[in-house]
Structure 1
Amino acid sequence: MRVLGIEGTAWAASAAYFDTETGDVFIDSDPYQPESGGIHPREAAEHMAGALPTVIERALSEADSVDAVAFSRGPGLGPCLRIVASAARALAQSLDVPLVGANHMVAHLEIGRHRSGFSNPVCLNASGANAHVLGYHNGRYQVLGETMDTGVGNALDKFARHLEWSHPGGPKIEERARGGEYIDLPYVVKGMDFSFSGIMSAAKDAVDSSERIEDVCFSLQETVFAMLAEVSERALSLTGSDELVLGGGVGQNARLREMLAEMCEARGASFYAPEPRFLRDNAGMIAVLGATMADAGDILEIDESRVDSNFRPDQVDVTWRGAESVSRPMNEEHEVIGAEAVVELDEDVRKRRRPKTYRHPALDARLRRERTASEARLTSLARRAGVPTPAIRDIDLREGTLVFEHVGEADLSADLTPERVRELGRHLATLHDAGVVHGDPTPRNARVSDRRLYCIDFGLGYHTDEIEDYAMDLHVFERSLAGTAADFEACVGAFEAGYCEVGDRAVIDQLRAIEGRGRYR
């Protein structure tokens, strides 16, 4: 099959030609370069209208014939998307070939899967307008975690604009970071979700307070990319996957790729980052995904080809894949490698937060110390509040080691039923009533026996009286269910019902508000 792909979600007018028989992908792109500041939607659309005919003509010059036309339906800037869609419709009609509409973010994932040969990887998408971790489950690419405010590339660009650097800012930050030293900046991970607004404000303040720009750029990269690597490892741990692919323009950063590769090597996982031409916005990934979709019969009628600037990857019915799932069953072993620690299971449980070599040593030491202390304190507090938790036998903050009573027979992930999930909902409501957020409630962080369900792993927990924080706890758990539960709807219903039996219904209302804030929704 031979497919012409057209991309134009934001700043890059791009066309590509892909031949499935040879595997060759020709890409021609003309990126929009604003004179100052960030991307201006009107100027970007004007650039798209002027550049698109030329890049399409160049791609067609490489084509012996065309069997389908694929285009990016979203997410992206509405004016740019509409220009691309109009061009794709006209071309498909003139060539009398099928029209395929691709989700831009799914294309980032699929190009990594296609080029790596991985069967069912977790994907970290690190792009300008987004940052999220995806895994295939129940016929869709589920969002296991994502930014709750701004995309990682946009966050870096905002910092660059504060320094009056031109777009894109990421490469300029990467260049200046090479001469920097580490300074502390905020680090915000909530389960597998993360936030960049606080660190960007702190970075701007640091520059305004006369910190060396090289030091701030270095620390910004070290902190932001460590957050992305950590949530990627959490997704690998949650699902049991041993494959990770990277997508998105920020993935061109050498330090990010280095961190992810080092993290994967330490846990025995495989890592793949496509070559840079497939990481930045490009029509090659649209053409490759378009060929896959067309082969599966996933084509559009002309009157059904409307664009969607808020087109989320978890809204896409993945018709070209079967019933497999990124989530894999895990056996109870003597030693378990989690996202943060190695856990040795014996009569007692010894949990040691090993140094993460991908993180800067100062940042790593801080996180290990803070999380070990938090876990010990909140485990005991939860137990006193009436939530079943293991008793603590010993603690060593310097080594990041805790020794617990061995509770339960397996993780909740091995017995993920509505009845069990309902019980966890009651436990979280009890925690919240005591002013405690668990921080990382997933099926891997609860233990089950015949008679009880225990909450474990409070390392990301904290004290609060904010309803928003309680709702985020529920959001983290329901996101993890989306990527692991066989009967997601039944489990979610039981979880929220259990929570409301003990807790405040207003937390559920706030959860709905959080869900509506997801990127591109």
Structure 2
Amino acid sequence: MAPTSSPTDASDDIRRVLGIEGTAWAASAAVYEVETDGVTIESDPYQPESGGIHPREAAEHMSEAVPSVVETMLAEARAQAADDVGRAPEEPPIDAVAFSRGPGLGPCLRIVGTAARAVAQRFDVPLVGVNHMVAHLEVGRHYSGFDAPVCLNASGANAHVLAFRNGRYRVLGETMDTGVGNALDKFTRHVGWSHPGGPKVEAHAKEGEYVDLPYVVKGMDFSFSGIMSAAKDEYDAGTPVEDVCRGLEETVFAMLTEVSERALSLTGREELVLGGGVGQNERLQGMLREMCEQRGAELHVPENRFLRDNAGMIAVLGAKMAAAGDTLAIEASAIDSDFRPDEVAVSWRAGDSEADPAPAASTRVDAGETAAQQGAEATVSVEGDRVVKRRVPRSYRHPALDERLRRERTRVEARLTSEARRCGVPTPLVLDVDTAESTIVFQRVGDRDLDAGLTAERARAVGRHLATIHDAGFVHGDPTTRNVRVGSAGGGAAGESSADGDDRVFLIDFGLGYHTGHEEDHAMDLHVFAQSLAGTADDADRLQAAAEDAYRATSERGETVLDRLRAVEGRGRYQ
């Protein structure tokens, strides 16, 4: 959604901004003072009598609470403005009004939008429409001092991992069904607990023992619906609720931590920001902190008042947007309940020379390297023409879960790497497997990762390779640009004598793969590859089109799978 400038565009002299938030349950207003970097917030959250959030009741609450919190913060703005040097008494106490334009519940957003327009017209100041999700991420970036971090948003209605590239926040991974907070709420409603459920799960989990639940990660996407169904079944079968809550926390938050680590590895970045109301959970924060420490990255967790839904983050980002002239005319300020973060043109960072860093150097073993390199879940080292990959324990995961995942993925990777090779897809030879140590020894192939050598022909080769294994009845599971090697064929890999260039494109890292003939699963493979292109390539659309063209021409069900891919792309929580 492109910004539309109003006749009263903001100047560089933005001293104080009023923010208004009300996407779902929290009626909130805030004043952000630019000079002091101070934020004052007034919130009135909606508390349903039973069950989850009821849209009609939430909207009724907004209609009553928003005017009150706004007037409270306008009084605060007037008090602050009284101390402004050079401000005339007749000048408005605020320089812009920012509001949460989406995503969220339409009835609630409309009330907030109406209030924001009224205040902007009342004081004749610019109006700024803020994406709620981007505000969660930007307030963390603002107070962390980080430049271009990976961002994990774990909120009630959503969960996704993003990174800034080419003027937008690119979605590297997201939930394919329900938001993480809503997923936890579904379980707690089943148990009979009131909203919000997350804090109750956290409290009971501290008294429980770990229960094994489904762990669903597909590349950097994830799914919670199956986990919630299994948790309900465990509870109904008589498993103590404390144990089920412990299993939920250990499983769900390990998934979010893993995909965050995968995003750091894919982008080569070393900074992570947490956002969203579920981010207040101490266990999730602890997992992320352990993961970052283990790989030498930095983590910033904002204050709790900025993690939960709040107008402070709206005001902070609104000030940046207003200073950049990214404002809205009243007639162009309609809300958007499906407003995705990757639709936002990040105008306020346009002049930042460091905002769009060059692709990071690969952490895989390149030509001439011998030291062990840290990947998303393993260390990789080269010994002559052999590559040794060891899935090292991840201390953030529960030991039982960690042991299971490392052994399962080691077995799967060895088996599917060889199976793909037998299908004619270039892969490294599997030379040795030690499941007890979660270690595989491979033939060394290629001289760089695909992200360091992206071309349309190589993207087409990936499309052909994925089509081949899909027709053979299995998926890769994580076909990112970091899990494809390009360059020399090494010690005689399959396809070495091919004339079409495939000999220089090798699929590796099959640890998340599995056997399936479902078009949905095949489409997810293509979706993961497309997301990785968006996060690492300057011309992602062209490269994705090349891969899809080759897939269509190679697979027996190419057109059907690509139709399903379009459905998958439209299934993101706020698509």
The CA distance in 2 between the partners of 1:234 and 1:326, in whole Å, is 18
The code of the aligned residue for 2:33 comes to: D
Query: Which residue matches 1:287?
Result: 315
Query: Which residue matches 1:498?
Result: 550
Farther-moved stretch of structure 1 (493-502 vs 197-206): 493-502
Matched, 1:48 2:62: yes
Query: Which residue matches 1:461?
Result: 513
Query: Which residue matches 1:61?
Result: 75
Contact 1:70-1:99 at 8 Å conserved across structures: yes
The CA distance in 2 between the partners of 1:180 and 1:510, in whole Å, is 41
Instruction: From 422, 430, 452, give the equivalent of 2:504.
Output: 452
The code of the aligned residue for 2:44 comes to: D
Query: Which residue matches 1:520?
Result: 574
Matched, 1:22 2:36: yes
Query: Which residue matches 1:342?
Result: 379
Q: CA deviation at 1:327?
A: 6.4
Query: Which residue matches 1:383?
Result: 421
The CA distance in 1 between the partners of 2:372 and 2:16, in whole Å, is 49
Contact 1:100-1:298 at 8 Å conserved across structures: yes
Structure with larger Rg = 2
Contact 2:527-2:565 at 8 Å conserved across structures: yes
The CA distance in 2 between the partners of 1:44 and 1:67, in whole Å, is 29
The CA distance in 2 between the partners of 1:219 and 1:160, in whole Å, is 14
The CA distance in 2 between the partners of 1:56 and 1:394, in whole Å, is 66
Give the TM-score, by structure 2 length. Answer: 0.90
Query: Which residue matches 1:32?
Result: 46
The CA distance in 2 between the partners of 1:355 and 1:326, in whole Å, is 31
Query: Which residue matches 1:243?
Result: 271
Matched, 1:398 2:426: no
Query: Which residue matches 1:177?
Result: 205
The CA distance in 2 between the partners of 1:367 and 1:125, in whole Å, is 24
Matched, 1:212 2:230: no
Query: Which residue matches 2:454?
Result: 416
Q: CA deviation at 1:419?
A: 1.3
Q: CA deviation at 1:325?
A: 2.9
Q: CA deviation at 1:156?
A: 0.3
Aligned CA distance change for structure 1 residues 177 and 327 (closer, same or farther; 3 Å): farther
Contact 1:101-1:299 at 8 Å conserved across structures: yes
Q: CA deviation at 1:452?
A: 1.4
**Ranges in structure 2 where 5+ consecutive residues have no aligned partner:** 1-14, 82-92, 489-502
Q: CA deviation at 1:502?
A: 0.8
Q: CA deviation at 1:326?
A: 6.0
The code of the aligned residue for 1:198 comes to: G
The CA distance in 2 between the partners of 1:102 and 1:409, in whole Å, is 44
Runs of 4 or more, structure 1, over 6 Å off, are none
Query: Which residue matches 2:173?
Result: 145
Matched, 1:358 2:405: no
Instruction: From 356, 378, 381, give the equivalent of 1:325.
Output: 356
Instruction: From 232, 254, 267, give the equivalent of 1:226.
Output: 254
> In structure 2, the residue corresponding to 1:320 is in which secondary structure?
helix
Query: Which residue matches 2:494?
Result: none
> In structure 2, the residue corresponding to 1:354 is in which secondary structure?
coil
Q: What is the total number of aligned residue pairs between the two structures?
A: 521
Matched, 1:470 2:529: no
How big is the alpha-carbon RMSD for the aligned residues of Structure 1 and Structure 2?
0.9
Query: Which residue matches 1:78?
Result: 106
The CA distance in 2 between the partners of 1:337 and 1:499, in whole Å, is 31
Query: Which residue matches 1:200?
Result: 228
Farther-moved stretch of structure 1 (375-384 vs 416-425): 416-425
> In structure 2, the residue corresponding to 1:398 is in which secondary structure?
helix
Give the TM-score, by structure 1 length. Answer: 0.99
Instruction: From 507, 511, 515, give the equivalent of 2:565.
Output: 511
Contact 2:269-2:360 at 8 Å conserved across structures: no
The CA distance in 2 between the partners of 1:485 and 1:436, in whole Å, is 27
> In structure 1, the residue corresponding to 2:572 is in which secondary structure?
coil
The CA distance in 2 between the partners of 1:204 and 1:444, in whole Å, is 37
Contact 2:180-2:278 at 8 Å conserved across structures: yes
